[in-house]
């Protein structure tokens, strides 16, 4: 090969190396996908979760997708809805209450699960340890602890001091239901009050409970926590109003709907805080390493408009302790 020929090849080779490489088109990165499984109908709690996502930089439809499914107070639908969410290949599955989280846990052992509002995640079989849950489940507990159920009756007795006959509506769908009934019975007995407990895990039994309470002459009403009760919020508030029964509820959204009083941790805030777990998991944290959060604050919410409609003078002791007064 001549010197001129060798020089030509070298120049051609150098020129080819200098040419820019054509980049191959890359498939767009898939947005994270979050599933939300709720035992109730859509409401303020789910909106609080979305707000929590936004606070952590995740905007649905922009940089994250959220798939929501609602059981509308029919717990038998939860396993089917959980399977449906899992088939969508979500990156994290958020589940409301113990029964929602149990349905999610039954549908997957690999997708991270964040529960929002479990009354007792250990007794409910969601985790074995609050500090280090292990497995694929963690979240925000709304465990009320000893004495809170009795507090519902104590506060209501301050509002209606002349009442001696109380009715309680409760549901075994809550893992801590037996504790609630036991505590309220003990508080009523200590005060010399009559308490009738009505089990209502579905609409048919709730209607029977309504009839029994109306016929019994009960003077006040307590609604214990359960996913079914949350789904029947409007019906429960309407019944109490129609029968002119002062009522104590377990969550603030009952007061927003016209209920008289509620006492306990904020359910909406629990859903909002669940979003912080989702954010950490999307950034690489393992759910089993994230301690279960427990409630530290209990709110007393009062609807003064409802009190006036019932002809009640709300005691100053209640108003001073209230976290929020409507009307």
What DSSP designation does 149 have?
H
Q: How far apart are CA 166 and CA 219, in angstroms?
A: 6
> What's the farthest any 2 CA atoms get from each other in the chain?
117
Q: Pinpoint the alpha helices (H) of the chain.
A: 3-18, 44-55, 78-87, 97-107, 148-159, 177-190, 203-216, 227-231, 233-242, 252-256, 267-282, 304-309, 316-321
> pLDDT tens digit string along 22-32?
445 455 578 99
The reply to whether 137 falls in a domain is: yes
| Contact present, 297 and 281 (Cβ < 8 Å) | no
**Domain check: are 257 and 246 in the same one?**
yes
The reply to whether 100 falls in a domain is: yes
Q: Which contacts of 58-61 are long-range, i.e. CB under 8 A and separated by 24 or more positions? A: 58/32, 58/275, 58/278, 58/279, 58/282
Please give the pLDDT value at position 28: 58
| Of residues 296, 316, 298, the one with CA closest to residue 307 | 316
25 is written with which tokens? 């088109």
Strand-pair partners of 139: 115
Strand 65-70 versus strand 137-141 pairing type: unpaired
pLDDT at 159 over 90: yes
The reply to whether 154 falls in a domain is: yes
**Domain check: are 189 and 321 in the same one?**
yes
CA distances from 323 to 59, 195, 265, 300, 319 (A): 30, 28, 11, 5, 9
**Domain check: are 217 and 276 in the same one?**
no
pLDDT at 167 over 80: yes
> pLDDT tens digit string along 210-255?
999 999 999 999 999 888 898 899 999 999 999 999 999 999 999 9
Chain centroid to CA 115: how far?
7
**Domain check: are 157 and 138 in the same one?**
no
pLDDT at 143 over 50: yes
> pLDDT tens digit string along 100-121?
999 999 999 999 999 998 888 9
**Domain check: are 225 and 282 in the same one?**
no
pLDDT at 292 over 50: yes
- In the chain, the number of structural domains is 2
**Domain check: are 242 and 271 in the same one?**
no
| Contact present, 106 and 82 (Cβ < 8 Å) | yes
> pLDDT tens digit string along 41-76?
888 899 999 999 999 999 999 999 999 999 988 889
The reply to whether 313 falls in a domain is: yes
**Domain check: are 249 and 285 in the same one?**
no
Give the CATH number, domain containing residue 205: 3.40.50.2300
Q: Tell me the pTM.
A: 0.83
Strand 194-199 versus strand 220-223 pairing type: unpaired
Q: Which structural domain range is residue 313 located in? A: 148-264+299-326
- Report residue 179: phi and psi, to 5°: -65, -40
Please give the pLDDT value at position 11: 43
**Domain check: are 105 and 213 in the same one?**
no
């Amino acid at each position: 090969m001549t010197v001129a020929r060798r020089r030509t090849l070298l120049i051609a080779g150098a020129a080819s190396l200098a040419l820019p490489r054509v980049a191959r088109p890359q498939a767009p990165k898939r947005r994270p996908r979050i599933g939300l499984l709720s035992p109730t109908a859509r409401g303020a709690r789910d909106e609080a979760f979305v707000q929590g996502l936004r606070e952590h930089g995740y905007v649905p439809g922009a940089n994250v997708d959220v798939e929501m499914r609602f059981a509308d107070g029919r717990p038998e639908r939860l396993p089917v809805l959980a399977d449906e969410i899992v088939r969508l290949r979500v990156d994290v599955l958020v589940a409301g209450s113990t029964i929602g989280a149990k349905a999610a846990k039954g549908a997957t052992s690999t997708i991270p699960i964040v529960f929002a509002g479990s009354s007792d995640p250990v007794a409910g079989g969601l985790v074995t340890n609050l500090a280090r849950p292990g497995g694929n489940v963690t979240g925000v507990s709304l465990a009320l602890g000893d004495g809170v159920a009795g507090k519902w009756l104590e506060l209501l007795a301050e509002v209606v001091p002349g009442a001696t006959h109380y009715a309680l509506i409760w549901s075994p769908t809550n893992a801590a239901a037996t504790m609630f009934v036991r505590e309220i019975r003990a508080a009523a007995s200590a005060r010399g009050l009559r308490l009738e407990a009505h089990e209502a895990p579905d609409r048919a039994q709730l209607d029977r409970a309504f009839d029994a309470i109306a016929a019994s002459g009960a003077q006040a009403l307590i609604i214990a926590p359960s996913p079914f009760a949350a789904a029947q919020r409007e019906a429960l508030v309407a019944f109490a109003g129609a029968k002119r029964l002062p009522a104590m509820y377990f969550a603030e959204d009952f007061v927003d709907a016209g209920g008289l009083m509620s006492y306990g941790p904020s359910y909406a805030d629990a859903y909002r805080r669940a979003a912080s777990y989702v954010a950490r998991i999307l950034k690489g944290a393992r759910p089993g390493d994230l301690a279960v959060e427990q409630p530290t604050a209990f709110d007393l919410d009062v609807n003064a408009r409802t009190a006036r409609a019932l002809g009640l003078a709300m005691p100053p002791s209640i108003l001073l302790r209230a976290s929020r007064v409507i009307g």
